[in-house]
Amino acid sequence: MDGGFVKFEQIERTEQAGVKVCASPQQSRQDPDPHRTRDTDSVEIAAWRIRMATEEAKAIYRQRASTSDTGNADARIIEGWVRSWCVVRARSAAWRCGLRWRTT
């Protein structure tokens, strides 16, 4: 789970299933400490905030960049190649049709 897309409902369900979520909590304007537990937090959310405040969890979260972000980047590069290839094919087809139309 990426830190920018944290949803508490997903964290609660995942934690209840026995999986430990490793996503950094976002800092809000009202509360500058994202790791501080709040009165409205469920047991799972409070445990997640406390766990993410540890150095071990921060180190694990930093490691995810070398695996997940490169996969996303590769997917975007391939998507760009496919789009470029489709544009080239479409322009080529239009050019050939226009060339034939002028010659006949």
87 Cβ neighbours under 8 A, 6+ residues apart: none
User: Please, where are the H alpha helices in 1-104?
Assistant: 8-16, 43-52, 55-64, 70-103
Q: What is the mean pLDDT of residues 72-94?
A: 70
68 Cβ neighbours under 8 A, 6+ residues apart: 2
Helix, strand, or coil (residue 35): coil
Note the pLDDT of residue 65: 62
- Has residue 62 been placed in a domain? no
Note the pLDDT of residue 44: 92
- Has residue 83 been placed in a domain? no
- Has residue 77 been placed in a domain? no
44 Cβ neighbours under 8 A, 6+ residues apart: 11, 12, 15, 16
Indicate the residue type of 90: A
- Has residue 88 been placed in a domain? no
Better pLDDT: 81 or 34: 34
pLDDT tens per residue across span 17-51: 998 888 888 777 777 788 888 888 899 999 998 99
- Has residue 101 been placed in a domain? no
Q: Map tokens 């976002």 to a residue.
A: 26
Structural domain for 13, as ranges? 3-53
The whole-angstrom separation of Cα 27 and Cα 86 is: 42
Note the pLDDT of residue 103: 47
